[in-house]
C-alpha cells in the first residue's frame, strides 16, 4: 500500500524509497541461508556412490558438502565430506567410497554461509552388494521340472495340515506337474458331506483343493538382509475360489505377507500383518484390480532389512510397484 501511495503522489520520493528498499533486500538476501538441492545419487560398482548437488547464492558461501547416516535427520555431527573451495557454477559432486555393501543410508547435501548451514532433503538409498557376489537362488520353476526335484524342495499341504480357515480340504491329487516348469493346483466342488474344517471358523468342507509349501524357512537376517519372493500365476476369479501366494510365521501368527490373494473376483490383495498375537493384529492392505487375471501375471514382494527389528516390503504386480509396507519381520522365520 505504501508503494502505491508514493507512486501516485511524489515521483522523486518513490525513487528514493525504491532505492532504500532495494538496498534492504540485498542485505536481507545476503543474510539468508543458502538454497541447496540434491540433484542426483548414483552408484557405480567400481567407483562408489556419486552424489551431486547444487547451491544458489555461492558468493556468500564458505563451505559445502555431503553427509550421510542411518537416519533422515542428518546434521554435521554425522558422517560428512566438506569442501571450502569456490564453486564456479553452483554445482558440485562427491564420491562416497566407504559405505557398506547392501546397507540403507540417508544422504543429504549442505552449504554454509555466515548465517549457518542449510541442508537438502535427505534421500534414502540401498547400496549394492559387493561386486561379483551373485544372489542366492533358493527356488525357481526348475523345482517343478520333475517329481524328484519337486520332492526335494516342496512339501504337500499347509505346514499345519490339510485344512485352513476356508471351505477346502487339501489332497495330493489336486496338485499336478505340467510341462515346462508349470505346476497346476486345482479345486473341485464336492456335493457330499465331508464334515467341517478343523480351524476357526470351522466351515463346512465344500471343495477338494491343493496346497504346497517350501521345505525351508524364509528369514530376514544380517546374512540374508533382502529377499525377493515372486511367482507367475494364472488364477480363477469366480465366486468361491481363493487362490493365494503368501508367507506366514513359523513360531506364531502374525506375522504374514500376502503377495497374491484373490477372493472370488479380479481384485488382488497384498497384505502385511503384524501384531503381538492373533487377537491384536495390524493390517496394511493394497487392493488392485488385475485385468485378465486368468492370464499369466507376476506377483512379487521384496523384503529388506532397514533396522535391527524392521523391514521394508515393496509389493509388485507385473514389475510395477503397488505398495510399500513396514513390519517388524527381522529374525522371524516364515513358512513359504
What is the C-alpha to C-alpha distance for residues 133 and 231, in angstroms, rounded to an integer?
Answer: 23
What is the C-alpha to C-alpha distance for residues 34 and 51, in angstroms, rounded to an integer?
Answer: 18
Q: Are 252 and 268 in contact (CB under 8 A)?
A: no
Burial 298-325 (b: 16+ CB within 10 A, else e): ebbbbbbbbeeeebbbebbbeeeebbeb
| Region of residue 75 (left: phi > 0; alpha: psi -120 to 50; beta: else) | beta
- Count of Cβ atoms closer than 10 Å to residue 67 Cβ: 24
Q: Which of 194, 256, 286, 312 is catalytic?
A: 256
Give me the residues paired with residue 227 across strands. 303
Q: Has 261 been annotated as catalytic?
A: yes
Helices 11-31 and 2-9: angle between axes, nearest 10 degrees: 150
Q: Has 29 been annotated as catalytic?
A: no
**Ranges of H-type helices in 53-98:** none
For residue 24, how far is the Cα from the chain centroid? 48
Q: Which of 29, 163, 251, 261 is catalytic?
A: 261
Q: Are 168 and 240 in contact (CB under 8 A)?
A: no
Q: Are 270 and 259 in contact (CB under 8 A)?
A: yes
Q: Please state the φ and ψ torsions of residue 82, each to the nearest 5 degrees.
A: -125, 135
Residue of 258, 274, 273 whose CA lies nearest to 317: 258
Residue of 231, 228, 229, 261 whose CA lies nearest to 244: 261
Catalytic residues: 256, 261
Amino acid at each position: 500500500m505504501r508503494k502505491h501511495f508514493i507512486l501516485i503522489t511524489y515521483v522523486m520520493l518513490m525513487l528514493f524509497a525504491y532505492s532504500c528498499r532495494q538496498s534492504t533486500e540485498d542485505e536481507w538476501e545476503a543474510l539468508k541461508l543458502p538454497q541447496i538441492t540434491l540433484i542426483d545419487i548414483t552408484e557405480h560398482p567400481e567407483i562408489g556412490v556419486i552424489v551431486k548437488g547444487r547451491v544458489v547464492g555461492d558468493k556468500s558461501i564458505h563451505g559445502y558438502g555431503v553427509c550421510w547416516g542411518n537416519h533422515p535427520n542428518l546434521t554435521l555431527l554425522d558422517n560428512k565430506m566438506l569442501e571450502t573451495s569456490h564453486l564456479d557454477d553452483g554445482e558440485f559432486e562427491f564420491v562416497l567410497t566407504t559405505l557398506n555393501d547392501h546397507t540403507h543410508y540417508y544422504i543429504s547435501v549442505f552449504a554454509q554461509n555466515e548465517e549457518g548451514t542449510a541442508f537438502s532433503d535427505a534421500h534414502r538409498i540401498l547400496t549394492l552388494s559387493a561386486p561379483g557376489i551373485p544372489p542366492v537362488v533358493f527356488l525357481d520353476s526348475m523345482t517343478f521340472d520333475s517329481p524328484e526335484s519337486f520332492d526335494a524342495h516342496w512339501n504337500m499341504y499347509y505346514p499345519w495340515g490339510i485344512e485352513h480357515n476356508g471351505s477346502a480340504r487339501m489332497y495330493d491329487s489336486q496338485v499336478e506337474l505340467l510341462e515346462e516348469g508349470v505346476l497346476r493346483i486345482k479345486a473341485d466342488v464336492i456335493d457330499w458331506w465331508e464334515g467341517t474344517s478343523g480351524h476357526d471358523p470351522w466351515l463346512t468342507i465344500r471343495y477338494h483343493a491343493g496346497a504346497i509349501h517350501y521345505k525351508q524357512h524364509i528369514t530376514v537376517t544380517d546374512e540374508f538382509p533382502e529377499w525377493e519372493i515372486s511367482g507367475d500365476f494364472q488364477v480363477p476369479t469366480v465366486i468361491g475360489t481363493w487362490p493365494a501366494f503368501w508367507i506366514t510365521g513359523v513360531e506364531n501368527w502374525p506375522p504374514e505377507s500376502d503377495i497374491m490373494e484373490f477372493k472370488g473376483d479380479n481384485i488382488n490383495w497384498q497384505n502385511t500383518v503384524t501384531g503381538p498375537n492373533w487377537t491384536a493384529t495390524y493390517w496394511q492392505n493394497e487392493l488392485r484390480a488385475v485385468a485378465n487375471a486368468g492370464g499369466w501375471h507376476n506377483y512379487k514382494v521384496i523384503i529388506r532389512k532397514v533396522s535391527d527389528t524392521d523391514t521394508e516390503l515393496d509389493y509388485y504386480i507385473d514389475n510395477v510397484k503397488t505398495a510399500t509396507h513396514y513390519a517388524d519381520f527381522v529374525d522371524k522365520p516364515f513358512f513359504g
